Structure formats: structure tokens, C-alpha cells
Amino acid sequence: MARRCDECGKGPLVGNIVSHANNKTKTRSLPNLRSVRVVKDGEVKHIRVCARCLKAGKIVKAGRGRNRAAAASA
């Protein structure tokens, strides 16, 4: 499974750690992904979303039980 946000497409960043002696080693920074239940196209789905999208309110989290029907209709 790709380490990519399903909402914005944010993925891993690749770069170099450069020492004082100019030795270079590869490094990888992974996005802060969270697996959440969301209401998308009237259905409840599990998707992986970055913390930035969650904080910005770009997705609608699914409720549980009775609240699910209310969230799906909205």
C-alpha cells in the first residue's frame, strides 16, 4: 500500500543528510497518515488521510450508529 494521502496526494519526501565532512546519506520523511472512517459519495469508507487534511476539515468523518444515517444524508 502506498504511503500517500487519499485526499491531497501528499507522499514521502526524499533528501540527503549531509555531514560536516560532506558525506551524504539518503533520508526519507514520511507523511503523518491516519486511517479514518469518512462519508464519501454517500458511503462510509476507510481512507488514509494526512493530519493536515484532517485539521483543515477537508473531509467529513463518519459517525457511528444512528449518527451515520444523519451524516450520509448531509
pLDDT over 90 percentage in the chain: 72
The pTM (predicted TM-score) of the whole model is 0.73
Instruction: Write out pLDDT tens, residues 41-71.
Output: 888 999 999 999 999 999 989 988 765 555 5
Distance, in Å, from the CA atom of 46 to the CA atom of 24, rounded to the nearest integer, reads 39
In order of start, what are the domains of the chain with their CATH numbers?
A: 1-61 (2.30.170.40)
Distance of CA 57 to the CA centre of its chain: 12
Which contacts qualify for 26-31: CB closer than 8 Å, 24 or more apart?
30/3, 31/3, 31/4, 31/5
Instruction: Write out pLDDT tens, residues 10-38.
Output: 999 999 999 999 999 999 999 999 999 99
